[in-house]
Amino acid sequence: MAPKRSTPALMVLGTGSNVGKSLLVAGLCRLFADRGLKVRPFKPQNMSNNAAATPQGEIGRAQALQARAARIAAHVDMNPVLLKPESNTGSQIVLQGRVTGRLSSGDFARRGDFLPKVLESFGRLCDGADLVIVEGAGSPAETNLRARDIANLGFARAAGVPAMLVGDIDRGGVIASLVGTHAVLDEADRAMIRAFAINRFRGDVGLFREGIATIEAATGWPSLGVVPWFPQAARLPAEDGLDLERDARRPGAMLKVIVPVLPGIANFDDLDPLKQEPEVDLVLIGPGQPLPGDAGLVILPGSKTTLRDLARLRSEGWDIDILAHHRRGGHVLGLCGGYQMLGRVVRDPLGLEGPQGEAPGLGLLDVETELTPDKTVREVSAVHADSGATGQAYEIHLGASSGPDTARAPFRVAGVNEGAQSPDGRVSGSYLHGVLASDPLRAAWLGGIAGRGLAAGPGYEAGVEAALDALAAHLAAHLDIEALLALARSRTGLIS
């Protein structure tokens, strides 16, 4: 086979988790796409319960956003390994979009076995692309995990992809984190990192000139720039559970929405559109806090471990709070795993999400759920049963729910009832994620609960697009984009 030139590619590494890698990759994808390049995002391994559906299977939510930023359809090759935590010691393995088993913390070295599939997906993604921007995971300084690493420099070396290292100045210690990463890497890994950048700077960038000089002198890496704090990031779907702290308090708003945050919460970006609504006071409730009694709506979001989270719901006393809320005339919405918890019973006879077993649900919906091995992953067009409003949504779930209340389903998909609703109309459950992101569906749903139309908030999807455009402009203004592109093109040697 004749040799071909390798596709330009650059890896964005971080000194730690939640330093802004996902956001930077999304912004760069939009920037280069708008310059006419065929750009593709890629993350070798992701660990998150915030997932997205594609026609081929599921990937991390961040990669779906990055694909959107690149103005292309999401594909499983953009995130070939997705680890979905089921406990502190184990995760479900989603390999190239499909569930293939479990990975315990004791078997973590097995991650290296996935490298051939990772490189296979990367190779397919490179075909026909002008540029691939790769996102790392966590930190490359975790040298105890380096031997079987596929997420950071292990991948970079295997695929010959140069990297830039990003530090988050907002959390403090950015000089130490960048210089410390350089210090602990071996020479071959260190050579893969060609530059660094600072993210989330507040204040006068000129005050950090000496800091930049210190880092350059200690590492030999040039600076690609300092990116100031980007407040519009709040309009973009978050991937990291740390971002759940961003509720949207609006005391005195027409509708107060309460969300109990459980350990296995999944697809929590379902809540993001509510944060943009001017008439909604969104309150996230953590462990040890009772659910406030003045809410109009309680939402039980998705869960990766439904039975375990149902047990936690009871141990917190939130089941009592939710039942009292319903008796007072309040509304309840369950999404995916939250929907399952609202029924009469949840069964997991094969131990698909943890130990085998079953437990009674809250009994607010007359349905029963059994988890089965076949996983539903699909994108759908949804119709709101009461109003006829339409919008896009997606499903990612194990099992099915059945019972009398499914006859009053809140939605229809392809003419078939989806979800369930109580006879009084105040309790609803659905397997659909993303219904609140659709402006027509969200307006119809919230208006029905509030008893009248709410003042129209900004269009959610339009807001995401505007934020991506603003992010691209923000990065263009503060990063050396030509130097960054030159780094990516430095990969283009001949390969066979």
The amino acid occupying position 416 is V
In the β-sheet with 39-42, what is the strand arrangement from edge to edge?
39-42, 131-135, 9-14, 163-168, 193-201, 223-228
User: How far from 185 is each of 107, 108, 117, 492, CA to CA, in Å?
Assistant: 24, 20, 26, 25
CA distance 76 to 61: 11
CA distance 158 to 280: 49
Catalytic residue among 75, 126, 331, 336: 336
CA angle, corner 188, sides to 187 and 194, nearest 5?
90
Helices (H) and strands (E) in the chain, counts: 14, 28
If one counts every other C-beta atom within 10 angstroms of the C-beta of residue 396, the result is 23
From the list 436, 437, 441, the residue with the least C-alpha distance to 464 is 437
Helices in 193-317 by DSSP H: which ranges?
A: 209-219, 272-275, 306-315
Phi, psi of 23 (to 5 degrees): -65, -40
Catalytic residue among 384, 433, 474, 478: 433
Mapping DSSP onto H, E and C, the string for 230-291 reads CHHHHHCCCCCHHHHHCCECCCCCCEEEEEECCCCEECHHHHHHHHCCCCEEEEEECCCCCC
Distance spanning both ends of the chain, measured CA to CA: 7
Question: Looking at the DSSP assignment, which residues form a beta bridge with residue 40?
Answer: 132
From the list 364, 301, 373, the residue with the least C-alpha distance to 49 is 301
Cα–chain-centroid distance for residue 16? 17
From the list 491, 481, 464, the residue with the least C-alpha distance to 32 is 481
336 is catalytic: yes
Looking at residue 44, the DSSP 8-state letter turns out to be S
When computed from its CA atoms, the radius of gyration of the chain, rounded to whole angstroms, is: 23
From the list 284, 306, 364, the residue with the least C-alpha distance to 332 is 364
CA distance 248 to 46: 27
182 is catalytic: no
Residue given tokens 């079987």 in the structure block = 148
The amino acid occupying position 454 is L
The residues carrying an active-site annotation are 336, 433
